[in-house]
Amino acid sequence: MSLPETLIDAARAVREGAITATALTQAALERAQMHQALNALAWVDPQAALAEAAQRDAEARSGRWRGPLHGVPITVKDLFNVRGMPTRGGTRAPLPRLTPEEAPAVARLRAAGAVILAKTNLQEIALGLTGENPWTGDVKNPHHPAHQAGGSSSGAAAAVAVGIGYGALGSDTAGSIRLPAAFCGVVGFKPSFGAVPLEGALPLVPSCDHAGPLARTVADAALLFSVLAEQPTYAAPLDAPPVLAVPFDYLEGWLTRELRAAFAAWLIRLQRKGAKIVSAHPPLALAEQHFPALRAESALVHHEGLTRAPSFFSPFVRAALQQGYAVPAVDYLRAREAQHILRHAIADTLRRAGAQALLMPTAPGAAPLRGTSVIALERGATPLRQAILHFTLPAAFAGVPAASLPFAWADGLPLGAQIIAPFGADETTLRIAAWLERVR
């Protein structure tokens, strides 16, 4: 039996009686077993997942349809509370108490008919960008296991890429949905700040934390977003080619040679398809300048763990959290002000340029080898974390919507591009992404 390729196809097949939720869930569990070496999953109970699928099938037979995800298996990052599953956050440290028992974002997926298949691995407490974790092991890149999967929603992206479910719920504080989506060759969408509820989820930097979907296609991500945000989302490709602003000055020196060539060639292809590419100069560097002061929020979130059992955090995470205690109040307040300044500056820049969104790479290059801490860019050797945050941090810091989708390949690894739009323009972001996906 051939399986549907996309989430939308899978939901349609269940509704038309062409396949059962049980068959879809069994196939996802088989894929999980087949790809166990990728270390994508933090928790899975096959019998519980199959029992939930059987319930969806019984509901379908009786004519009860929960919603647009009825019978489709979905995974959830292991920082969201899921009824009947532990929340460990990829750490051995004690976590703050999270309520309710099931995060509203997860409850919305379930109410729409999704089968909650499993929980996915992540970087420790969602702090990191490589997918490497000394407690739970590295999540490996599904296209080349020697390479990083990206973080912190590493398991979510890897699972979607190899068919362990048709979509995933992830989180993004500084790039944690978009980066693993880029490294693993799937679509990731970080909505506007606050669009998807985060109650019942482990915070990291509450003023930057976002929840959002990862999926195989833009349309699938849009459907998941509409469920998660409880708002209708029309995500058909734009009727006319978009006007896109590229921050060329901001990118100068920050790309690998391979990504520079691929991105330049892609821009030419987009222009041939009718897109208009203009230059823009938003003050994106505000994010890197002020984000460190927001570590004060992280120190507060994990104060109990840092006090009771600091050695149960890995050295890198512990040091990053403890930096928050040294942040002067005035620096924190300036950072909070800078978030709003950048949010408005992105909108103003696009308006002046006559553009609908910013377009730039999601990362400086393809996924590096696991264990890499320095990357060779046009500007020279650069710490990997700094290089990645240069691309992913601005949209999260400003709280504006951003989607990542694959646009090219280099040495067998995918390359990702991101669309960044003004605050609240979630649907526009997805429609531009759908247009880019169609013409690439």
Rounded distance between C-alpha atoms, residue 193 and residue 190, angstroms? 8
Three-state DSSP at 291 gives helix
Rounded distance between C-alpha atoms, residue 154 and residue 139, angstroms? 6
For CA atoms 18, 21, 22, 25, the dihedral sign is positive
What angle do helix axes 218-229 and 7-15 make, rounded to 10 degrees? 70
Rounded distance between C-alpha atoms, residue 229 and residue 102, angstroms? 16
DSSP alpha helix (H) spans, 65-112:
104-111
Q: How many residues comprise the chain? A: 440
Which residue among 77, 119, 140, 190 is the active-site one? 77
Q: Where are the beta strands (DSSP E) in 26-69?
A: 41-44
The answer for 209, left when phi > 0, alpha when psi is -120 to 50, beta otherwise, is: beta
The C-alpha torsion from 213 through 214 and 219 to 224, rounded to 10°, is -30
Which residue among 140, 152, 153, 404 is the active-site one? 152
Catalytic (active site) residue 152 = yes
The HSE-up count of residue 239 (CA atoms within 13 Å, CB side) is 1
Q: Are 70 and 17 in contact (CB under 8 A)?
A: no
Q: Cβ-count burial of 23 within 10 angstroms (0-12 exposed, 13-18 middle, 19+ buried)?
A: middle
Question: What is the DSSP-derived secondary structure letter of residue 374?
Answer: E
Rounded distance between C-alpha atoms, residue 56 and residue 117, angstroms? 13
Kindly write down the DSSP assignment for every residue of 182-213, as one continuous string.
HHHT-EEEE-STTSS--TTB--SSTTT-EEEE
Q: Cβ-count burial of 166 within 10 angstroms (0-12 exposed, 13-18 middle, 19+ buried)?
A: buried
Pairing status of strand 276-279 against strand 243-246: parallel
Distance of CA 367 to the CA centre of its chain: 15
Number of neighbouring beta carbons within 10 Å of residue 340: 12
Catalytic (active site) residue 140 = no
Which residue among 153, 154, 171, 176 is the active-site one? 176
Catalytic (active site) residue 176 = yes
Pairing status of strand 167-172 against strand 210-215: antiparallel
Residues designated as active site:
77, 152, 176
